[in-house]
Amino acid sequence: MAEESTTSAPPALSVDVAALTELLDGRYADVRRTVRDLLPSYASVLEDAETMPKEEFRERVREVVLEIASTGAVGMGFPKEYGGGGDIGASIAAFETLAYGDLSVLVKVGVQFGLFGGAILQLGTKRHHDAYLADLIAGRLLGCFAMTETGHGSNVQALGTVATYDPDAGEFVITTTTPSAGKDYIGNAAKHARVAVVFAQLEVAGEGHGVHALVVPLRDESGVTLPGVRIEDDGQKMGLNGVDNGRIWFDGVRVPRESLLNRFADVTEGGEYVSDIESSGRRFFTMLGTLVQGRVSVGAAGVSASKVALTIAVRYALQRRQFDTGADDGAEQLLLDYGLHQRRLLPRLARTYALHFAQEVLASRLHDVFSGITPDDESRQLLESRAAGTKALSTWLATDVVQECREACGGAGYLAVNRFAALKADTDVFTTFEGDNHVLLQLVGKGLLTNFSSDFSDLDQLGMVRFVAGVAVETVLERTRAHRLLQSIRDALPGGGDSWDTDSGLRDPQYHLAMYRFREEHRIGGVARRLKRGIDSGMNPGEVFSRVQDHVIAAARAHVERIVLEAFVEKVAAMEDGDLKLTLNAVCDLHALAGIEADAAWFIEHDRLSTQRSKAITREVGDLCRRIRPVARELVDGFAVPEALLRAPALISGESA
């Protein structure tokens, strides 16, 4: 429990770095240590990215990926009988830790083992597992994940590639129907993939059955493109140029019937389409839901990139001095002793901790769903929503943190050797791959408004509008977890439910949670009311959704912010009393109050914050920054980023204070 009063001086903070790293490493500490020990061997790749020509660097990245594959570090999520580790949680921990190093290596690992391998594992059956898994885990067979098209990215249901079944030959015929239906931005496609998992509209006996996945060969063993397949390099990118992204077109490419990844649907030898899931919409979303590991992994990588940037920037701020402060010794002042510098870095450090613990909860739930501990539909749907929202916030975090840390290091941060150039370029795409962040938050909002009803999988955006308009707004609110919990939090506040602006301790986590939950509930209700009002006025459902789209995003973001804060609060509450708990409690307070401060105008508009209390929160954020400053070095050292990966010799080689 956080200290209740801000009038007396709180005790000084201290951190045992080894204990902090152990806490952050969590359940998979051994896996994380193994990967951290492995990474310095490949630290030279960071320099290679700057000095090698693109084609040469791509081959270097491929070599490193195959070397890492030989250690077993990237196959932990696959079944043991095929050479994997049988633990999907371990695979997330390994991937998250790999993100401390070169991100081209990371993304190529993600394409090969997460996307390509994950699709075969999750969408295929034993015949596919036997045919492909052992070779792809060992790196003997490189592949790609061909979903996105030039004309369709997020709207996967509208893909233009078609797979038509030929019953006489017992084959599917894969065709790129229009120029915009070409597969695009496909990692591994331009150079190295011999096989692709291709997502296409399935047509059987003249009837369309929606998007399905098939295994389609692209190249022979010598790397020559197969007949009917055309591949083009996407060319130079903003970053990640060690990954060979490419475009693929298919001109009547034939593959056997058995190439269909048939976990959820199949075509019989007689040419009959069969599936245990009758609804095409539910079948589609069930299929995509099995691929949620990609979003969990990208979010984890975003948090890791933030940790690297903060480690460099905080350590630099503890050795770089600037301007004479008038002290008797005439020494210039350390950057991190300036209140503004603390304000720039420490709330972002606190937010990185918050998203680390939120990611930890998410990875645990992913493990539980995919290992069969919680296999029910509700758990799966909640996992998909949480993964979508956490990925959005974690990748936006990386974009924000890397930029602010670069600026906080001045001109030195602009030099490539100090890593920020690569971090900026390589993480920028995180906000749009594995789902554009705004589209992902729309998915979260859709779930909040429909409460993942039995019709959830069949509802598109217009269906969601009609669904919400057809029920009472109060019913929508009653469905939300926030609403069910809110009254108990209100009752816990001093003065009761109407006293949101009391003298309650600003560092009380129950106050923080109450504010975050109120914002979430209010925004969900506001969206529901706007949707219903638009439909009741006779407006076209598409126009209604367009007009409230920003409110949907705001509601979804408020929801995810709340679950991130809850994860942090619950983690700290579960710790044994001691110095580390006291420190992380202060970090949690900083995260919570900085979030309220950033949205103070909204809380004031909705009568949940007075101007006086808003000013008090701003003072409290400053106080917390000053309190945390003496342990800032320990808080970033706890991330345990290997020294060889920091590079930045001019920024971190000096004596820290």
> Where in the chain are the domains?
25-138, 143-262
Domain 25-138: CATH superfamily is Acyl-CoA dehydrogenase/oxidase, N-terminal domain (1.10.540.10)
In angstroms, rounded to a whole number, what is the distance separating the alpha carbons of residues 348 and 222?
49
Output the pLDDT for position 378.
82
**Fold matches, 25-138 and 143-262:** no
Exposure string for 324-335, b = 16+ CB within 10 A, e = fewer: eeeeeeeeebbb
* Single-letter amino acid code for the residue at 102: D
C-alpha separations of 366 from 161, 204, 293, 301, 552 in Å: 30, 34, 7, 16, 25
Q: pLDDT at position 456, please?
A: 45
Distance CA 590, CA 302 (A): 21
The pTM of this model reads 0.92
Residue 381: per-residue pLDDT: 87
For residue 100, report the phi and psi dihedrals to the nearest 5 degrees: -70, -25
The partner residues of 527 in beta bridges, in order of sequence, read none
- Residues 242 and 47: their CA atoms lie apart, in Å, by 12
- Using CA atoms, how far residue 512 sits from 8, 50, 518, 590, 595, in Å, is 21, 45, 10, 10, 9
For 243, 445, 643, the CA distances from 509, given in Å and listed in that order, are 44, 25, 35
Contact present, 626 and 339 (Cβ < 8 Å): yes
> What is each CA distance from 427 to 300, 305, 358, 560, in whole angstroms?
12, 8, 20, 21
Angle CA(382)–CA(387)–CA(392) in degrees, nearest 5? 130
Q: What pLDDT is stored for residue 7 in this prediction?
A: 54
Using H for helix, E for strand and C for coil, what is the string for 632-655?
HHHHHHCCCCCHHHHCCHHHHCCC
Q: Among residues 14, 26, 163, which one has the least CA distance to residue 90?
A: 26
Counting every residue written for the chain, the total comes to: 657
Determine contact, residues 589/476, Cβ cutoff 8 Å: no
Residue 65 burial (CB count, 10 A):
27
Tokens 């969408």 — which residue?
123
The residues carrying an active-site annotation are 434
State the chain's maximal CA–CA distance in angstroms.
93
Q: Is 545 helix (H, G, I), strand (E, B) or coil?
A: helix
| Residues 318, 335: Cα–Cα separation, whole Å | 7
What is the pLDDT at residue 10? 83
> Helix, strand, or coil here: 18?
helix
Task: Give the pLDDT score at 454.
Answer: 47
Neighbouring C-beta atoms of residue 562, cutoff 10 Å: 23
With 0-12 CB in 10 A as exposed, 13-18 as middle and 19+ as buried, what is 154?
middle
Cβ atoms of 351 and 594 within 8 Å: the answer is yes
Answer left, alpha or beta for residue 145, where phi above 0 means left and psi between -120 and 50 means alpha.
beta
- Within its chain, how far is the Cα of 651 from the centroid? 29
Q: What gap in Å lies between CA 504 and CA 271, rounded to an integer?
A: 69
Secondary structure, 3-state, 141-162:
CCEEEECCECCCCCCHHHCCEE
Low-confidence residues in the chain, pLDDT < 70: 1-8, 324-330, 452-464, 466-504, 650-651, 653-657
Give the pair of three-digit tokens for residue 607: 């009568």
3-state secondary structure of 582: helix
CB 37: neighbour CB atoms within 10 A? 10
Is the CATH code 3.90.1150.10 the one for domain 143-262? no
Residues 6+ positions from 345 with CB-CB distance below 8 Å = 310, 313, 314, 317, 336, 404, 405, 408, 632
**Alpha carbon distance 482, 360 (integer Å):** 21
Strands (E), 471-510: none
Positions of E strands within 289-445: 321-324, 332-334
